[in-house]
């Protein structure tokens, strides 16, 4: 299972990379804006910096919503670094662009996926990754994890190679549940990833070991 961090915050990306378990980064226009990164020039510069910080895939999202615009922006993004994965919105034009890029051997991530049908189309178009947004489904009282299970079943039925990138992961249990369901990748905040470390018995056990060591020294 791959772990991506879902942020444009360089400090958090560095921290996750230092853990040694990071496989990539996902960003989106909202995450860029949150870090105060605005304007095409600064956004491009930021992508380059992220690529230099991590080993692995870096999803960079197009802003265009028409095929020609997506192709132009996607080609510009892909030219920045071989680590770049062109992130495309789940629209009719996005599917066309996905097919265009997969035929050219350029990695893609179909984003804003909320149904099994959308995920099926993304796989048919040859997407490298499909991003079902589980947290946002949970937000509207719909079971986001159920969608992961549905997509897993469909992809396994036909041996689709598109990787299921569980996105909009909000907390640690989402990661565990996605792992149980066979998601290929999760992308989430550092806090959710670091939550996997925590267990009170680990802390209690370590405190006891250290105290016992001190007694003998
Ligand atoms: C995925 O690539 C998106 O950037 C992200 O996971 C969205 O998460 P959110 O619903 O927490 O904004």
Crossing angle of helices 116-124 and 92-103, in 10° steps, is: 30
Output the residue whose Cα is nearest ligand 1's atom 8: 168
Distance in Å, CA 157 to ligand 1 centroid:
27
* pTM, full prediction: 0.96
Residues with CB under 6 A from ligand 1: 6, 26, 28, 111, 131, 133, 135-136, 167-168, 187
Distance in Å, CA 170 to ligand 1 centroid:
9
Give the tens place of pLDDT for each residue, 7-26: 999 999 999 999 999 999 99
Pick the closest to residue 8 from 30, 21, 136 (CA basis).
30
User: Domains, the chain, ranges and CATH?
Assistant: 2-215 (3.20.20.70)
Determine what percent of the chain is predicted with pLDDT higher than 90. 99
With b meaning 16 or more CB within 10 Å and e meaning fewer, what string describes 149-177? bbbbebbeeeebebbbbbbbbbebebbeb
Give the tens place of pLDDT for each residue, 55-98: 999 999 999 999 999 999 999 999 999 999 999 999 999 999 99
pLDDT band at 216 (very low <50, low <70, confident <90, very high): confident
Average pLDDT over residues 119-138: 98
Contacts of 126 (CB under 8 A, 6+ apart): 98, 99, 102, 103, 108, 162
pLDDT band at 217 (very low <50, low <70, confident <90, very high): confident
Task: Give the residues across from 162 on adjacent strands.
Answer: none
């Amino acid at each position: 299972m791959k772990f991506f961090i879902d942020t444009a915050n360089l400090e958090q990306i560095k921290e996750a990379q230092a853990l040694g378990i990071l496989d990539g980064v996902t960003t989106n226009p909202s995450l860029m804006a949150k870090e105060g990164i605005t304007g095409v020039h600064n956004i491009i510069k930021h992508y380059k910096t992220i690529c230099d910080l991590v080993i692995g895939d870096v999803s960079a999202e197009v802003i265009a919503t028409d095929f020609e615009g997506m192709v132009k922006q996607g080609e510009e993004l892909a030219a920045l670094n071989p680590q770049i994965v062109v992130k495309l919105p789940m629209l009719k034009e996005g599917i066309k662009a996905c097919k265009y890029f997969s035929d050219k051997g350029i990695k893609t991530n179909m984003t804003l996926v909320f149904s099994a049908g959308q995920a099926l189309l993304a796989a048919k178009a040859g997407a490298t990754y499909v991003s079902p947004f589980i947290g946002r489904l949970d937000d509207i009282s719909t079971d986001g994890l159920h969608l992961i299970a549905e997509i897993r079943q469909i992809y396994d039925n036909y041996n689709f190679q598109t990787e299921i990138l569980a996105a909009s992961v909000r907390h640690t249990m989402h990661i565990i549940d996605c792992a149980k369901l066979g998601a290929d990748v999760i992308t989430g905040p550092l806090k959710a990833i670091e939550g996997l470390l925590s267990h009170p018995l680990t802390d209690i056990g370590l405190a006891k070991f250290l105290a016992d060591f001190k007694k003998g020294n």
